[in-house]
Amino acid sequence: MCYGDGGNKCGAVRLQFDAGRGTTIRLSQLGVEPAQLNGIFFTHMHNDHTEGFADLAQLRWFYNGAGPKLDAVGSSDIVSPRGFTVSCRKFLMHIADAFIQSGEIAQRHSEDENRTAGGPADLVNTITFEAKDESQVVWSSGNVRVSAIQSTHMVGHVSYRVDTPAGSVVIGGDAGNDVLTPPRARSTSDQVEKLATGADIIVHSTIHPIMGPDRGSGMFPYAFYRQSTASDLGAMAKRAGARCLMLTHLIPAIGAERQGPWRVPGGPLREADYRNAVEEGGFTDNIIVGTDLASIRLPGE
C-alpha cells in the first residue's frame, strides 16, 4: 500500500502487508524496490504469508547492506493451547539462517563490507505487540497510522487498519470467526468488523461457500471453517459501511479444477461466482475480485 501525492507518485509511505511467494516479483512489476519499503506487517505465521520475506530481506541487504533498517511488525510471541510457541520475532531473527549456513552471507559480505556481517536479519527492525480484541496503534509515520486487532485463524493472527488523510483500508488477512465451527452466526471475525467500521476499503482473504464440508469437496472442515466465506464478507462489509470490498487469497483460485488435493464441486469458479456470493451477503457496491496487481486509488476517482 502506498500513500502520498502526485508529486511523489504516492511514494511518501510504502507499506507491505504479508509477503507470500513472489512478493518481490510483484513489487518489481509496480516499480517498487525492497529498499523503498517503510514497513512490512505480518498477519500470521503461515508460509503463504511469510516465505517471500526471505527473498525481500536478502535483496534489500544485497543492494543496501548498510541500511536503513526495515520496520517489520507482527504480534508478540504466544504459546498456543497445544503448547507450541508462535513467534514472528524468531521468524525475523532467523530469516536468512539458511543462507548463513550455506556460506553465502559470508561470501557476499567479503565482496562488499558495507553489507552487514550478520546478513539480512541485521537490517530488520522488529516491532511486536500483544494482540488484543481492541484496536491499538502499532506503527505510524507522519499522518499514516496503522492499527491492529487480534483475530482468529491461527494463534497470533492479527488484522490491520491503515488510516491516512486519503482514506482508510482494512487488511483482514485470513481472519475467521472466534467460534471455529458451526453453529455460529457467521464465519467472519467480529473484531475485524469492529476494525472495519467506517473504512473505505476492506481487503480480505476468502473462501467460496462451494468448498464447504456439506458440498462434497472433501476439504478438511477445520481448513474451511477458519476462513471467511465471500457471502459472509459481503454481509460484514455492508454492516461496517465500507465503500469497497476487495477479495484476495481466493480459495479456490478462479479457473482451478482443484484446490490442492480437493476437487472444486461443479467445476472451476469464475469471477462472477465470487461476485455473486458477495452480493448474496447483501453487499452490492464496489466489489473487486482480486487478482495479482489489482489496484485501487483513494480518494476514488
CA pair distance 41, 146, nearest whole angstrom: 9
Min dist. Cβ of residue 53 to Zn ion (A): 15
Of the pair 163, 174, the CB lying nearest Zn ion is at 174
CA–CA distances in Å: residue 110 to residues 55, 64, 68, 247: 20, 15, 20, 45
Q: 4 — alpha (psi -120 to 50), left (phi > 0) or beta? A: left
Q: Measured from the CB atom, is 86 or 288 closer to Zn ion?
A: 86
Q: Tell me if 237 sits within 8 A of 201, measured CB to CB.
A: no
Cα–Cα distance, 35 to 280 (Å, whole number): 42
Phi-psi region of 260 (alpha: psi -120 to 50; beta: other; left: phi over 0): left
Residues 6+ apart with CB under 8 A from 262: 211, 217, 218, 219
CB of 142 to Zn ion, least distance (A): 31
Question: What's the rounded Cα separation, in Å, for the pair 247 and 200?
Answer: 14
CB atoms within 10 A of CB 100: 16
Tell me how far, at minimum, the Cβ of 213 lies from Zn ion, in Å: 18
Contact residues toward Zn ion (CB under 5 A) are 46, 174
Tell me whether residue 226 or residue 243 sits nearer to Zn ion (CB atom). Answer: 226
Nearer to Zn ion, 221 or 266 (CB): 221
Q: Which is nearer to Zn ion, 152 or 168 (CB)?
A: 152
Q: Which three cell numbers stand for residue 65?
A: 547492506
Q: Closest distance between Zn ion and the C-beta of residue 188, in Å?
A: 15
Q: How far is the CB of 247 from Zn ion (least distance, A)?
A: 15
Residue with Cβ nearer Zn ion (46 or 89): 46
Q: Give how far Cα 161 sits from Cα of 165, 172, 176, 238, Å.
A: 13, 8, 16, 17
Instruction: Tell me how far, at minimum, the Cβ of 248 lies from Zn ion, in Å.
Output: 12
| Residue 87: CB minimum distance to Zn ion, A | 16
Q: Nearest-CB residue to Zn ion?
A: 46
Nearer to Zn ion, 46 or 263 (CB): 46
Whose Cβ is closer to Zn ion: residue 174's or residue 200's?
Answer: 174
Q: H helices within 86-154, ranges in order?
A: 88-93, 97-101, 104-111
Question: Minimum distance between the CB of residue 64 and Zn ion, rounded to whole angstroms?
Answer: 30
